[in-house]
Structure 1
Amino acid sequence: MAKMKFFYGPKTCALASRIALEEAGADYEPVKVDFATAEQTKPAFLAVNPKGRVPALVTDRGVLTENVAILAFVAQSHPDRKLAPLDDPHAFAEMQAFTSYLSSTVHVNHAHKHRGARWATEESSFLDMRAKVPETMAASFALIERDFLKGPWVMGEAYTVADAYLYTVSRWLEGDGVDVNRFPKVAAHMKAMEQRPAVKAALAGE
């Protein structure tokens, strides 16, 4: 596989895919997209990802976007690293269901704090959205704590790319007004993740 380019923004959800790339020992070049100057809206980046968002992974077969897709691709293209239950279709689908929940629900809950313009135009609507974030994020993590985080890792004893994604969104809790210690399994998961060399390497690149 040729060297890949990975477009990311610091402190964004792209951290999940970067952790997975590090766990896989993938051959990739990180390319920072400067959100402070709205680089994601400029023609050069839009030529890579017309959505104007990160992550984006340039492979020798084209560009992949969305964490759910990139995480699965990294796991499947580096099978020796055992980053997903590749030999068990049902377990793989369970993992995908979890990462899809993080993408479609938890991330959207979080986005209502700063991205209200995606859904409304009135300032009063933005205030309502921001006020709701602690409640919706806490509700999502209560569900994760109770039903989805098997422990110590998302899928149980085996670490997978889903753990990279859970860790990434768990890091948003404090800023969203939610005490992670309300969720002991999630808090323990965060601590375990922070000990992994791949996580340290990904964070150092932020």
Structure 2
Amino acid sequence: MLTFWYAPGTCALATHLALEYAGAPYEAKRLDFRKGEQRSPEYLRINPKGRVPALVTERGVLTETTALLQYVAQVFPQAGLAPLDDPFALAKMNAFNGYLASTVHVNHAHKLRGYRWVDEGDEAALAAMMKKVPQTMADSFTLIEEQMFQGPWVLGERLSTSDFYLYTLAGWLEGDGVDVQRFPRVADHMRRAEALPAVQKVVAQHKA
């Protein structure tokens, strides 16, 4: 049995969706960031980074969304969440997920977590970072829409971990001041993902 730690409104949703879709045996444990539970001694023993997601396996704890998505795809190959038999296609999937993690997520984080990158008390720098978020998020999704997205799923006809990751981060656009309808293919992708029973089940848990 796997133990999965998550918090609503975070990138942990992507791995949670993959676990549910794959039919993995797991127990989900929810953290309340508003109460600072991610900094509790109990959780820091699991993940010293104090962030989510974290997945406790029989061999130890795994963190970072890209790693967890790859793990789920490989441990539960029957779900077909990665083109494990095609090195090039697998690399394309990991490149897409890497872009979401290294660029899109960082763009989003500049809105509320700019303190990670500036000196304490530098309010002007924080304000500048927040002001830039709608532009950087829109620029990233323009690239996804026009160059990186094959359709109807990220890799074409087959569903993959990239679809759960894209769905998660696209859900942040409205809060970042960007209308997802500017990106018709991404908007259609969100509707397609929301029709999946696994997505409906997990999203309801995150909203509860």
Deviations 1:63-84 (A, max 9, x none): 1101100001001001111111
Partner of 1:142: 142
Residue of structure 2 aligned with 1:93, choices 86, 91, 94: 91
Q: Secondary structure at the match of 1:63?
A: strand
Q: Secondary structure at the match of 1:47?
A: helix
Partner of 1:36: 34
Name structure 1 gaps, 5 residues minimum. Answer: none
What code does the residue aligned with 2:168 have?
T
Partner of 1:177: 177
1:101-112 map, 5 Å:
101-112=99-110
Say whether 1:125 aligns with 2:125: yes
- Give the superposition deviation at 1:40: 0.8
What code does the residue aligned with 2:82 have?
A
- Give the superposition deviation at 1:142: 0.1
Q: What percentage of aligned pairs have identical amino acids?
A: 58
Q: Secondary structure at the match of 1:5?
A: strand
Q: With structure 1 as the length reference, what TM-score do the two structures score?
A: 0.98
Say whether 1:196 aligns with 2:166: no
Q: With structure 2 as the length reference, what TM-score do the two structures score?
A: 0.97
What code does the residue aligned with 1:40 have?
Q
What code does the residue aligned with 1:170 have?
A
Deviations 1:121-170 (A, max 9, x none): 31111110110000000000000001111000000000001100000000
Deviations 1:148-198 (A, max 9, x none): 110000000000011000000000000000011110000000000100011
- Give the superposition deviation at 1:43: 1.2
Cα distance in structure 2, aligned partners of 1:169 and 1:17: 12
- Give the superposition deviation at 1:42: 1.5
Deviations 1:82-114 (A, max 9, x none): 111010011101100000100000000000000
Cα distance in structure 1, aligned partners of 2:196 and 2:25: 19
Structure 1 runs, 4 residues or longer, greater than 2 Å off:
none
What code does the residue aligned with 1:54 have?
V
Cα distance in structure 2, aligned partners of 1:34 and 1:162: 26
The alignment covers a number of residue pairs equal to: 204
What code does the residue aligned with 2:88 have?
H
Cα distance in structure 1, aligned partners of 2:105 and 2:55: 20
What code does the residue aligned with 1:106 have?
V
Cα distance in structure 2, aligned partners of 1:64 and 1:190: 27
Partner of 2:167: 167
- Give the superposition deviation at 1:11: 1.0
- Give the superposition deviation at 1:34: 1.1
Name structure 2 gaps, 5 residues minimum. Answer: none
Cα distance in structure 2, aligned partners of 1:41 and 1:118: 16
